Structure 1
C-alpha cells in the first residue's frame, strides 16, 4: 500500500518532489526489496520475534510515507519553505534508510529468506481480469437443508390449536443457522401466507429501541419517519397492534442472551397470536427461555458425502470460462475429500476452504494447498478457527487491508458498496497499477470485492445488473469472519476504536505515545460523553498521526454535539474524514470547538481525499476550494448555507474530484441567482442532487466522465427545454460514459409537456439516456399515442426501448386513457407512483404485465372505481398503497399482495 501511494505521489507532484525524487525512489526500491522477505515472515507470524519485526516494518513504511507527505504539505505553501525543508527531509530519509539496514540484518538473524512472488500474485492485472467474471451471483450453495426448509415452513403456516408459537434454529457458529432461516423467510409459501415479514439481527451488542424500530419499519414501511421518532413504549404499542391486525412473521437472527429477549418481549403477545416468531441462536437455553412450548430445530453436521458435495459446488464451478477439460477431477476429488474431513462437517468451514481452492485451477495447486495447510488443520480442535485464519493468511497482499477495513463497521451492518469503494480508494488501498485502460478506480475496487466474495470471505447483496454502476449493492461479514477481521486488525495496528459512550477514567498512562494505528474509528451515540471522555478523546488525538477518522453514529441519534474543533488543526496529513450524521458543537467545557472555526480548520486539511458531511448539520465553507486533492465530497446534509462571499466556481479547482453529492436544495440557502459552476471537473464520475435552480446546466456536457447523474429541473417549459438540450449534449455524445440517470422534472406551465411529445418520447424510449429513475410533475400527452407513434417510426416492439427504467412517478399528468396498458410493458419497472395522474374510472393490468413491479402507489385518483388485475400480472408485487381515491370500490387478485395499504380520504 505504502509503495503504491508514494509512487502515486511521484506522479501527481513531479515539480514539488523533483529535487528529492532520487531519495524517494531509493526508499521505494528498498521497501519493494523488503517485500520479498514478507512472504516467509508471514508464514512464521506465530513466532513472537517475527511478529514484532513485522510491526517494525509496517511502522517504517508508514514513517516513510509520512515524511514524503509532510514535505509536500510544507513545500506546497511557498518556494522558500520548500528549499528550507529539503535538507531536513534528506536527514529524515537517511534515518529511515538506517533503520532499513537494521531490519535487513534481522532478516538474516531470524533466517527469514527472500522469496519471489508467485506468478499468479505478481501479475495483478491478469488476476483482476480473471475475477471480473465473479461479480455475478454465486451458485446456490445449499446442501441437505431442503427437507428442513419444507418441514419448518409447514410448522410456521400451521394454524391449528397445537401449532408452535415459536420456531428456533439453534447450534454452534458456522452451522448454517442464518442460511436456513433465510431460505424459510424467502420461501414462496411464507410470502403468500403472512401479510407482514420482518427480519432483524440482534447479536451481542443490541439496543432495544433500535431493534423494535427495525421490526416495525419492516412491517409498516410507509411510516418510517414517524417510527424513528417513537419512544420505546410507543414502539411496543404499535408492534402489538400490527401483530393483532395481520399475520406477521418476525425473525430474530443471532440472539445471544436471555437479557436481549427480556428487553423486547413486551412487544410480542404472550398468549396465542396470529403472528409467529422465528429465532436463531447459538444457545438453546435462549430458545427455551423465550417460549418453552416452541419448536427447537438443531441442524446436524454434514456427513462426508454432503461435505464433499458442498466443497465441489464451491471449488469446482462448471460455468462459463471455468470449465477445464484438462483437470484431473478424480485425483482432485480424492484430495478434496481428504481435506474436507478437517472441516468437521461445518458448512462455513467447507465454504471457506472452497473459497481457497476455487482460486487454484490445477491439481498441483490443490496438492500444494493440501501440503501447506493440512498440518495447521491437524494442530488443534478449533477446525473452523484454523480454516478462517488460513483463509486470511493466503489472501493476496492487496486484499488483506480491504478485508480488515470491513471490521470498522458495526456488527451485522450491511455496508453500502459504493461508499466502501470510495473509502478504500481514498485510503490508498486500491492500486492504480491494477487499473487497465478505460477502467475506473471504482471498477478496480469492485474487482477486489469480487475476489473476496469468490473466496467466501464476504457476503454481498446484488444490484440490478442492467441498471447499476456497481454490481454489488452492499456487503457484510459473517460474525465469525468479523471476529477474525477485528483480531487481525488489532494485531496489525490497522485501526483503533474509541467508543465515547463508554465511561472513561482518564490518566496519563491511558494515552500511549507509541500507539501506531493510523486509522481511527470514533463511536458515539445518544449518551452524552462526560468531561473525562472529552479529555481522553482530545488527548488521544494529539498523540496520534492519523490518516483516517470515521465517526460512527451507533444509535442513529443526532442530538449529541461532537467535542471536536481545534483538535483537527494538527491533522495535516488526514486523507479520510467522515462526519456523517453529526451535529457540530459550538461550545463545551473545553472552550470553543465547532461553529464557524471548524470551517477554517477543515479547509486546512489539504491532503483530504474523502470528506463526508452526509446527514449532518454544518454550514458550508469557502475554503473548500483549498482541498484540491479531494476525490469524494459528500455535502448532502441537513442544512447548507452558501455565504454571500462564496464564489460560484468554488468547486472548479477540485480537479481530482470523482464523486460529488450536493445538498438537498430544499434545505439549502443561497443568494438570488447563485449557480454553482462545474468547469474543470472532467474526472467527475458521480454527481447527485444537481438542481438547475442552483447549478449551471450549461456545464453538463463538459462532464464527459459522468457515469451516474441525479438531476432535478423545475420551472417553466423554457427551463425544461434548456435542460434537455444540455442533457442531450452529455448523454448522446459519442464518448458519453453515462450509465445511470435519475431525472426529476417539475414544470410550472399549465400545459406542462403535453405539447412536446418528442421530449417525452426521447426520455422514455431513447436507450442512450440510460434513465433509471424518472419523475414528471406536469401534464403529459396520452401514453398510448406515444406508444403507437414510436412503433410506427421504428417498426420495433416497445419492449426493446423500455430497457432501463426501474422507478417511475407521474404526478398531475392529466391522463384520460388508462396508462397501465403502456406502463405494464416496461420490463424493468420496480416502483410506480401515480399521483393525480389519471382521470378515468377503471384500470386494467394484463396477465403478462409488470413482470418486475414490487411497489405500486395509487394516490389521489379522484375518479378511480376499480382496478382489474388479471391472473399472472404483477406476480412479485410486495406493496400496494391506495390512498385518497374516494370512489374506489374493488381490486381483484388481492392474494397476490403481501402488504396492502388502504387509506380513506384525509379529513
Structure 2
C-alpha cells in the first residue's frame, strides 16, 4: 500500500504545483525536486512489497510512508503561509501596510525554514534509497518486472459507463428458489415457521434471500414484510425498531420512542393480525437471537421468519422445526457461466479463436475461486477491464504467481478465498486502492451516503484533479472512482432514482468479506484505526490507546440514547497529536445521540492540539453551553475549531457552536453545520462581521443550519465563495440573496424564502439562470443544474401571490423541487387569466417548459380541484398535497394527466370525499400514500389500471373505507380488487 500512498502524494503535490502556482513562486523548483525523488523511490516499493514479511523491510516501508506524509505536510504548511501573506498584501489601509511589511519579513524567514526542511527531506530520501540498495531491493527501472498494478498517479483509465446498468447475476440459484418459495407461502399445519439459509461468507445467502423477498408471489402472499441486517454488532432496541417501522411505516415516529418491552408487545400483536414475512439477514450468534426472540410468536401464526447465517448450529437454537437450507457451491460450468456474464458482457469484438482461448484461461482462473460466487464476481471485475486475449493472458500469469492452488475446504479454503480478494485489491490502480480501504472506516452493513463519501475522499486527497475530463468537477471524478469500484465488484451500490440528480449513486456498502479485506489491509499497513468505545468498555480494555503511527482515527459508539458506559477516560498519545490527519466520531445508530456527559467522561481530548487535521467530523453530539469548557472545547469552541487551519472537511452537527474563528479555515472545502431546528440552533455573536465566510475561498460544499440565532437584521455574505458547488438550506432571513448571482459554479442550491422582497430577487435569479442556460455565447457561467425552493408565503401579501406562483410553476429554469406552504389562489384561474392576456389557446403551453419534478403544497386552502393544472406539469415525478392544501370535496385525475408521476401523497385533506382516477392517468405511479383523509368514501376505481403501482399505504382512514379493502379479520373486502395487483399494501 505504500506504493499507492506515494503515488497519491505525488499526484497531490503535482496538483498543488498546477493549481497554486502563483503562491509557490520561488520554491517551485525545490518542490519539483521532491516530487522527482518520490517518483524514483516509488519504483523500489513493488520489490519491497514482495519481501514485506521481513521485519527490516517492513520497518523501511513504514519509514518511507512517514517521510512521504512529512513531505506533503511541509509543502502544505508553506502553501498556507503563502496564502495568508498574499491576502494581507492585497488589503489596503495604514494598519495593513504595516502588517504587510511584517508579513513580508516573516515570509522571508519562513522561506529559509522551508528550504531547510526540503533539504532534510531530500537527505532522508537518499538514506532510504541507500537502504533499498543495501537490502538488495531493485527498482522496477533496474530490471525487475513492473507491477501489474497501475500505480502511476496519471489519468485513470475508465471502463465504467453510467449509461449501462449492470444486471443482477443470478447463476446456480434457480433450484434453491424453486425449493424455498413454496415453503414460505405454505400455511399448512406442518408448514415450517422458520426458513434458515446457512453457509460460508460470499456464498450468496443474502442474494438468494433478497430474490425471494422481492418475488411477486411473496409480495402478494404477505401483508407486510421487513428486512433487517443483524451482523456482528447488534443492538436489540435498534433491530426491533427497524422491524416494526418496516411492518407499520405510518407509525415510525411513535415506534422510535418505544422501549424494548413495548416494541416486543407491538411486534407480537402485528404478527398475529397480519401475515408478515421478517428477514433477519446475517445472524451470527445465539446471543443475538436470544436478545430479540421474545418479539416472535412461539405458537403458530401466518407470519414467517427467514434467516441467513454462517452458523448452522444457530438453526436448532432458533427453532427445532425450522427448515435448514444449505446452498451449494457453484460447479465448474456454473462458475464459468457466472465469470463469463461478468467478464465478457459484450464479446462481439472478439474472434472465435480469441474467445476460445479466453474461455480456456478463464476456466483455469475460476478454479481458484472454488465455486464461491463472490470470489468469481470479483475475479470477473478484474477481467472485465481487460478486453483482449493478450490482457487476459497477462492476468492469468500474474494470478498464477500470486495465488496458490486449492487444497480443499476448511481454513485452507478460506485462506484461498482471501488470497483472491487480496489479489483483486493489489491489481487496483493506485487511485482506487485507498478509496476502497477508506470504506472500511464505516460500520458493518452501513449504507454510506455517496455525496458525503466523495467529499471525504476529496478532503483526504484521494481524488486527483489530473483525472478530470473536460469541465468535470472533483465530485464527478470521485463518482467515476466509485463507478470503477462497482464495475470491479468491490463495492455494492444503490442507484439514485431522483430525476436530474447530480449523483448517479445514492449510497454504497461493502459486503462483509470485502469489509474484512479492507480492515485487514488497513491494519497491516497502519492506514487507519477503528475504535469501538463499547467494546473497550465490555472487555474492560485499557482505555489509554497509543496510536503512535496512525494518521486516521474513527470512533464508533455503541452507546444508546438511554444507556451509559463506564467513566473511563480515553487518551491519545501526545506524540500522535501532530501526526493525526483525520478524526471521525460517529454514533452507532442514526437514532442515537451522544450526550455531552458521555463525551466528557469518555474522550478527554483537546481538539485544538490536533492542528494538522484535514478531516474532522463530529456527528450528532449535544454540547450545551454549560459543557463547552469540557471535553473537546476546553477553551472557546470557536477558537478550538478555528485553530485547525489545515482542515478540508468539517462536519459539526451539534446544538452549540460559535463562529468566531471559523474564518481561519482557509483550506476548507466542505463545511457542514447541519443542526436541527428548535433546540439545536447555532449562534452568531452580534459583534462578528457578516463576511466571515469571505476568507474561505476554496469552499466547494456548504450546508447551513436551519436556524442561526443572533443575526438581528444582519445577513451573511457569500460573494467571495466563487468556487461553491453545493449550497443547502440558504435562508433568506439571514443570508444575502443578491450574492447568489456571484456563485457562478453552483451545481446544487436549496433556498428557504420567507419574504416577498427576497422572493422577487429569487425570481430574477431563476430568470438569470434560464437566460444563461439558453445563451449560446458560452461566456456566461451562471447555470445551476439543480435548484430546490421552499417558499413560506404567510408573510407575503395575497394580492402578489398569483404572479409569483404562476411564474414558479412555469419557470423554465432548473427549478426541480418546489415546496409552497401557505394560502395560494385557485390554480386554474391563474392560467386562464394568463391565457386571456396573451391570447394563448391552451394553458398547457404555459406549463410545458416547467422542470419541476417534485411539488409539495401545504395549507394552500384550495377549493377548486388543482389536478387539471398540476397534471400538466410535464416532468412531475413526486406530488404531495399536505395539510389542508385542498379543501374541496371532489378531485379528478384525467386520462392524459400525470404521465411521469411515480409518487403521490394525499395527507390531511379533511373535506375530500370523492377521488376519481380515469383509465390512462398516472401510468408510471409506483407509490401511493393516503393518510388522515377521513371523509374519503372509497378508493378510486381507476387504481386497478395502474399496472406499475407497487406500494399503497392507507393510514388513519375511515373504518368503512378500510373494511371495503380488507376487513379486520384479514379477509378481502369488496373493493380489494382495486389494489389486488399491488405488491405491498399497508392498511
Q: Secondary structure at the match of 1:474?
A: strand
Provide, for residues 775-798 of structure 1, a one-character-per-residue CA deviation record: whole Å limited to 9, x for no partner: 453314435974996995799889
Given that 1:731 and 1:738 are in contact with CA atoms closer than 8 Å, whether structure 2 keeps it comes out as no
Work out whether 1:548 is the aligned partner of 2:586.
no
**Which residue matches 1:426?**
459
2:194 alignment partner, one of 166, 178, 194: 166
Q: By how many angstroms is 1:127 displaced?
A: 3.9
Q: By how many angstroms is 1:25 displaced?
A: 2.3
Q: By how many angstroms is 1:752 displaced?
A: 4.5
**Which residue matches 1:623?**
661
1:329 alignment partner, one of 344, 355, 366: 355
Q: Secondary structure at the match of 1:572?
A: coil
Which shifted more, 41-50 or 296-305? 41-50
- TM-score by structure 1 length? 0.90
Work out whether 1:584 is the aligned partner of 2:618.
no
Work out whether 1:444 is the aligned partner of 2:457.
no
Given that 2:46 and 2:147 are in contact with CA atoms closer than 8 Å, whether structure 1 keeps it comes out as no
Structure 1: distance between partners of 2:577 and 2:902? 52
Provide, for residues 549-578 of structure 1, a one-character-per-residue CA deviation record: whole Å limited to 9, x for no partner: 111111442242223687222222211110
**Which residue matches 1:340?**
366
Work out whether 1:52 is the aligned partner of 2:91.
no
1:812 alignment partner, one of 860, 863, 885: 860
Work out whether 1:254 is the aligned partner of 2:282.
yes
1:558 alignment partner, one of 593, 600, 607: 593
Structure 2: distance between partners of 1:251 and 1:663? 38
Given that 2:855 and 2:878 are in contact with CA atoms closer than 8 Å, whether structure 1 keeps it comes out as yes
Q: By how many angstroms is 1:64 displaced?
A: 1.7
Q: Secondary structure at the match of 1:366?
A: helix
Which shifted more, 327-336 or 689-698? 327-336
Structure 1: distance between partners of 2:942 and 2:278? 25
Work out whether 1:885 is the aligned partner of 2:924.
no
Structure 1: distance between partners of 2:799 and 2:215? 44
Q: Secondary structure at the match of 1:581?
A: strand
**Which residue matches 1:829?**
877
Structure 1: distance between partners of 2:847 and 2:47? 58
**Which residue matches 1:102?**
127
Which shifted more, 207-216 or 68-77? 68-77
Change over 3 Å in CA distance of 1:591–1:199 after alignment to 2:
closer
Q: Secondary structure at the match of 1:398?
A: helix
Change over 3 Å in CA distance of 1:275–1:848 after alignment to 2:
farther
Structure 2: distance between partners of 1:102 and 1:66? 20
Work out whether 1:771 is the aligned partner of 2:811.
no
Q: Secondary structure at the match of 2:606?
A: helix
2:827 alignment partner, one of 758, 782, 792: 782
Provide, for residues 434-478 of structure 1, a one-character-per-residue CA deviation record: whole Å limited to 9, x for no partner: 123311000111111111111000000011374211101101000
Change over 3 Å in CA distance of 1:785–1:519 after alignment to 2:
same
Work out whether 1:683 is the aligned partner of 2:723.
yes
**Which residue matches 1:270?**
298
Change over 3 Å in CA distance of 1:120–1:212 after alignment to 2:
closer
Structure 2: distance between partners of 1:829 and 1:73? 47
Q: By how many angstroms is 1:109 displaced?
A: 3.4
Structure 2: distance between partners of 1:623 and 1:258? 51
How do residues 237-386 of structure 1 correspond to structure 2 at under 5 angstroms?
237-318=265-346, 328-379=354-405, 381-382=412-413, 383-386=416-419
**Which residue matches 1:185?**
213
Q: By how many angstroms is 1:547 displaced?
A: 1.0
Q: How many positions carry a matched residue from both structures? A: 894
Structure 2: distance between partners of 1:452 and 1:767? 37
Structure 1: distance between partners of 2:899 and 2:419? 46
Work out whether 1:741 is the aligned partner of 2:787.
yes
How do residues 7-22 of structure 1 correspond to structure 2 at under 5 angstroms?
7-11=14-18, 14=21, 17-22=24-29
Q: By how many angstroms is 1:624 displaced?
A: 1.5
Q: By how many angstroms is 1:648 displaced?
A: 1.6
Structure 2: distance between partners of 1:834 and 1:893? 22
Q: By how many angstroms is 1:108 displaced?
A: 2.6
Structure 2: distance between partners of 1:399 and 1:220? 41
Work out whether 1:112 is the aligned partner of 2:137.
yes
**Which residue matches 2:253?**
225
Provide, for residues 252-284 of structure 1, a one-character-per-residue CA deviation record: whole Å limited to 9, x for no partner: 110011110110111122212232221111112
Which shifted more, 559-568 or 870-879? 870-879
Given that 2:616 and 2:650 are in contact with CA atoms closer than 8 Å, whether structure 1 keeps it comes out as yes
Given that 1:821 and 1:845 are in contact with CA atoms closer than 8 Å, whether structure 2 keeps it comes out as no
Structure 1: distance between partners of 2:34 and 2:129? 14
Given that 1:404 and 1:486 are in contact with CA atoms closer than 8 Å, whether structure 2 keeps it comes out as yes
RMSD: 3.4
Structure 1: distance between partners of 2:930 and 2:120? 69
**Which residue matches 2:953?**
900
Work out whether 1:696 is the aligned partner of 2:703.
no
Given that 2:844 and 2:872 are in contact with CA atoms closer than 8 Å, whether structure 1 keeps it comes out as no
Provide, for residues 617-640 of structure 1, a one-character-per-residue CA deviation record: whole Å limited to 9, x for no partner: 222312211111111000111321
Provide, for residues 132-157 of structure 1, a one-character-per-residue CA deviation record: whole Å limited to 9, x for no partner: 52475212211132343354333323
Given that 1:196 and 1:898 are in contact with CA atoms closer than 8 Å, whether structure 2 keeps it comes out as no
Structure 2: distance between partners of 1:804 and 1:444? 27
1:26 alignment partner, one of 16, 33, 39: 33
Given that 2:706 and 2:731 are in contact with CA atoms closer than 8 Å, whether structure 1 keeps it comes out as no
Q: By how many angstroms is 1:236 displaced?
A: 1.6
**Which residue matches 1:707?**
747
Given that 1:136 and 1:471 are in contact with CA atoms closer than 8 Å, whether structure 2 keeps it comes out as no
Q: By how many angstroms is 1:15 displaced?
A: 6.2
Provide, for residues 223-277 of structure 1, a one-character-per-residue CA deviation record: whole Å limited to 9, x for no partner: 3333333221222222223333333222111001111011011112221223222
Given that 1:587 and 1:593 are in contact with CA atoms closer than 8 Å, whether structure 2 keeps it comes out as no
Given that 1:120 and 1:127 are in contact with CA atoms closer than 8 Å, whether structure 2 keeps it comes out as no
Change over 3 Å in CA distance of 1:11–1:125 after alignment to 2:
closer
Q: By how many angstroms is 1:500 displaced?
A: 2.9
Q: Secondary structure at the match of 1:203?
A: coil
Q: By how many angstroms is 1:406 displaced?
A: 0.4
Q: Secondary structure at the match of 1:701?
A: helix
Q: Secondary structure at the match of 2:592?
A: coil
Q: By how many angstroms is 1:653 displaced?
A: 2.1
Given that 2:745 and 2:783 are in contact with CA atoms closer than 8 Å, whether structure 1 keeps it comes out as yes
- TM-score by structure 2 length? 0.83
Provide, for residues 35-82 of structure 1, a one-character-per-residue CA deviation record: whole Å limited to 9, x for no partner: 222334334545554433322211110122233334555675744444
Given that 2:865 and 2:892 are in contact with CA atoms closer than 8 Å, whether structure 1 keeps it comes out as no
Q: Which runs of 5+ in 1 are unaligned?
A: none
Structure 1: distance between partners of 2:343 and 2:726? 37
Given that 1:467 and 1:804 are in contact with CA atoms closer than 8 Å, whether structure 2 keeps it comes out as no
Structure 1: distance between partners of 2:842 and 2:138? 69
Provide, for residues 478-529 of structure 1, a one-character-per-residue CA deviation record: whole Å limited to 9, x for no partner: 0000000001011111112233332387879x6547x211111122334545
Structure 2: distance between partners of 1:118 and 1:736? 46
Given that 2:611 and 2:646 are in contact with CA atoms closer than 8 Å, whether structure 1 keeps it comes out as yes
2:49 alignment partner, one of 31, 42, 65: 42
**Which residue matches 1:647?**
689
Q: Which runs of 5+ in 2 are unaligned?
A: 1-7, 86-102, 407-411, 774-780, 960-987
Which shifted more, 400-409 or 840-849? 840-849
Provide, for residues 755-781 of structure 1, a one-character-per-residue CA deviation record: whole Å limited to 9, x for no partner: 636x54553454532414544533144
Work out whether 1:206 is the aligned partner of 2:234.
yes
Given that 1:458 and 1:478 are in contact with CA atoms closer than 8 Å, whether structure 2 keeps it comes out as yes
Which shifted more, 759-768 or 340-349? 759-768
Structure 2: distance between partners of 1:519 and 1:118? 27
